[in-house]
Amino acid sequence: MIGPATVTAEEARAWRPEIPDVFNSADIQLFYSGTIPQLGPMEPMVEVGVGYGRSLLWAHELRRQRCHLGATLGVDNFGEDFRRWSKVAVPCRCHLQWSALVKRMAGTVDRPPLLMTCASLEAAELFEDGELGLVMIDASHELPDLVADIAAWRRKVRRGGIIAGHDWCDEWPGVREAVVDQLGGSVQLFGTVWAFEL
């Protein structure tokens, strides 16, 4: 079940200003604030397409505040795909930024989020079908890539779990097309976040 956001957009944007928000992750943060409380405390969740790590770190901190012990995992290859589809002038050095953030977090939480530095489809193969409570896809927004991501990760989410993604907007028409193709028209929208409960 997806609950209502428990924070405002202003609170989400003000959180940890030292972490770049070049991908406008406030919508994801709001979505996570209403969704993470619905996860079981031991359920793992995955964010595919980490970028600078802002929304993943937000999710991780929300889970720790609720004493969730399930793994919070990020998947990103930080390579050509990132440079290829990114429409903003961001140098592809986000893995260095990520390392710095994880080091900072390691001193404040008992277990930092886990980072899988590989391609999305490669990572999906490492999980059992139905193992995950939540998957957020914010990787390549190109139609064939997103169709493949949704098809691969959908199977990994348990019945009653949630598969979601970012950038349901006019700027990324492939996102809408891929989501409707793979999940039909019954997705829920939270700003630019799309979500489907399995």
Q: How far is CA 50 from CA 59, 95, 163, 166, 176, in A?
A: 12, 9, 16, 12, 20
Domain boundaries, the chain: 9-197
Whole-prediction pTM value?
Answer: 0.88
User: Residues 53-97: pLDDT tens digits?
Assistant: 889 888 988 998 888 888 899 998 876 555 554 444 444 445 555
- CA 162 from chain center: how many Å? 11
104 burial (CB, 10 Å; 0-12 / 13-18 / 19+) is middle
pLDDT digits (tens, 9 = 90+) for 16-34: 887 777 677 889 999 999 9
Taking residues 140-154, report their average pLDDT: 95
- Tell me which CATH code domain 9-197 carries: 3.40.50.150
